[in-house]
Amino acid sequence: MSHPDVALGGHHAPAMEPSPFAIPAIKLAMWLFIISDIMTFAACLVAYGFLRNATPNWPRPYHSSTIISVLVMTVILVTSSLIMLMAVRAARAGDRANAFRWTMVTLALGILFAILHVREWFGMIGQGVTLSTNPWGTGLFGGAYFSVTGMELLHVIAALIALLIIGLGYKSGRYGAAHVENCNLFWQFINIVWMFVVPLVYLMDIAS
């Protein structure tokens, strides 16, 4: 175990009681943040579900081109999640060079995902979807679509910045493996939110 790892892992400095969950404080904090963030997303999704369920003329605009693009985005995101795990493995083994490399690959895939996401947005805007209007049905659609996916995009961007900072910092020795692990937790969480966004926002609304 390298030195910073002890610092982050441990409240085992002899003068402290062990953590009941046996995880360092920063990891606990990340889990807690994720729990709270789940509720933020849950509130958005409840709002979306409420309005969608209560609105008979909810548009179902997606054709196979959108679905294929969403599938590609999913594959990219899930792959990036797998690759981030390689970074964690390397970091745990103290292999700074490889951990950095894998983090950067994750970052690149994440950027690709974000670009496709924005492209998707522009596609919608090009079809005349705004926050309050669209060509197909209730005006609520745009507001719900952009706020739920916007929330996701906001998280992706935050995570990309974190990946960059932590990746560089880990390479230079400023950060420890625990930071990389934390970054992984956040990145995986975004992946998980996407698993709800895809069926609830896109697949429910395939045009018939």
Residues between 45 and 104 with contacts to other proteins, criterion CB under 8 A: 46-47, 49-51, 53-56, 60, 64, 67, 71, 74-75, 78-79, 81-82, 85-86, 89, 92
Taking the CB of residue 143, how many other CB atoms lie within 10 A of it? 19
- Work out how close the CB of 188 gets to other proteins at its nearest, in angstroms, rounded to a whole number: 4
Q: Which residues of 147-179 are buried (b: 16+ CB within 10 A; e: fewer)?
A: ebbebbbebbeebbebbbebbeebbeeebbbbb
What backbone torsions phi and psi does residue 98 show, to the nearest 5 degrees? -70, -40
Exposed, middle or buried, 113 (CB in 10 Å: 0-12/13-18/19+)? buried
125 binds other proteins (CB under 8 A): no
- Work out how close the CB of 103 gets to other proteins at its nearest, in angstroms, rounded to a whole number: 15
Contacts of other proteins in 164-193 (CB under 8 A): 177-178, 181, 184-185, 188-189, 191-192
- Work out how close the CB of 100 gets to other proteins at its nearest, in angstroms, rounded to a whole number: 19
Over the window 16 to 45, marking each residue x when it contacts other proteins by CB under 8 A and - when it does not, the resulting string is xx-xxxxxxxx-xx-xxx-xxxxxx-xxx-
3-state SS, residue 157: helix
